[in-house]
Amino acid sequence: MSMNQHVTSLSAKHAQLENRITRESVRPAPDWQLVHQLKKEKLRLKDTLERIAQ
């Protein structure tokens, strides 16, 4: 896998997590523990993308 493919893959996962967080947050009786876990994973991906960009 090339670096561009890797970055694209990580960016797609980041966007998917954002969508899951949004869907979970707006549904009746959201699972806030899941939202917190998803946000941590999203932040980890963001940090990885920033490290790659340097």
Q: What is the pLDDT of residues 1-53, one digit of tens each?
A: 788 899 999 999 999 999 999 999 999 999 999 999 999 999 999 999 999 98
Q: Which residues contact 11 (CB under 8 A, 6 or more apart)?
A: 49
Q: Report CA 29 to chain centroid distance, whole Å.
A: 22
Q: For residue 2, what pLDDT is reported?
A: 86
Query: Model-level pTM?
Result: 0.86
Which residue do the tokens 């990885």 mark?
A: 48
Round to the nearest angstrom and report the end-to-end CA distance of the chain. 19
Helix (H, G, I), strand (E, B) or coil at 53: helix
54 pLDDT higher than 90: no
